[in-house]
């Protein structure tokens, strides 16, 4: 089937990956809301984020196909080529993360890990001003990336004609054969 009425679906995001994603969203929001004055909850959010990131690292190696880093981490030239193809309206379809999305995942996970690390250091050094400033800077960078991430998800949902947020909830996307395009 190659039309809008296509109902074939494929599983893309496994249950643990989805649980990881929405837990990360909650923990990130909690960390932001408690950062200024509610330090016990803020620390709890930070430790939870560390545990989630640790799980994601592991899952990126031993998880199912589309959760694996090897499935979506590409070099800068592949990311550039994908973005260029996107601008020209000839980008390839990917069931999992496309190369640009993959780069965003790596940046998000890295910056979040640095946010957690700087928070731990600020705590360990008794509220060191240097580490606190670094922690705040990294947290702002993370917020900026999250904004770009959400904008990217919405843009790709429009361009691909598929609700990607729903896919991160149900784990399923329309089968590739429905799109009538090649890809992986």
Site for ligand HEM in 26-85 (CB under 6 A): 28, 56
How buried is residue 28: exposed, middle or buried, by Cβ count under 10 Å (0-12/13-18/19+)?
buried
Residue (18 or 128) nearer to ligand HEM, CB? 18
Please list, in sequence order, all residues whose beta carbon lies within 8 angstroms of the beta carbon of residue 5, skipping any fewer than 6 positions away: none
| CA-to-CA separations, 42 to 11, 118, 123, in angstroms, rounded | 35, 13, 12
The alpha-carbon radius of gyration of the chain (Å, integer) is 18
Name the token pair of 164.
Answer: 């990607």
- Give the Cβ contact number of residue 150 at 10 Å: 11
Residue (97 or 131) nearer to ligand HEM, CB? 97
Would you count residue 109 as binding ligand HEM (CB under 6 A)? yes
Rounded to a whole number of angstroms, the minimum distance from the CB of residue 134 to ligand HEM is 18
Residue (105 or 113) nearer to ligand HEM, CB? 105
Please choose, out of 39-47, 74-82, 127-135, 149-157, the segment that lies near ligand HEM by the rule CB under 6 A. Answer: 149-157
Would you count residue 11 as binding ligand HEM (CB under 6 A)? no
- Residues of this chain that interact with ligand HEM (CB under 6 A) are 17, 21, 24-25, 28, 56, 97, 101, 105, 108-109, 112, 146, 149-150, 153, 164-165, 168
């Amino acid at each position: 089937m190659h039309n809008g009425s296509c109902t074939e679906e494929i599983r893309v995001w496994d249950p643990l990956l989805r649980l990881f994603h929405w837990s990360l969203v909650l923990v990130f929001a909690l960390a932001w809301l408690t950062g200024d004055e509610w330090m016990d909850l803020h620390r709890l959010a930070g430790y939870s984020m560390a545990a989630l990131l640790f799980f994601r690292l592991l899952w990126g190696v031993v998880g199912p196909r589309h959760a694996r880093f090897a499935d979506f981490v590409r070099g800068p030239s592949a990311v550039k080529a994908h973005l260029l193809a996107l601008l020209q309206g000839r980008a390839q379809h990917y069931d999992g993360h496309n190369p640009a999305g993959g780069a965003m995942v790596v940046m998000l996970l890295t910056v979040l890990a640095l946010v957690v690390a700087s928070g731990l250091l600020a705590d360990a050094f008794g509220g060191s001003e240097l580490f606190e400033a670094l922690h705040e800077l990294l947290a702002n960078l993370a917020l900026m990336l999250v904004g770009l991430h959400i904008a990217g998800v919405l843009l790709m949902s429009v361009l691909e004609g598929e609700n990607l947020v729903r896919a991160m909830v149900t784990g399923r996307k329309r089968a590739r054969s429905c799109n009538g395009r090649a890809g992986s």
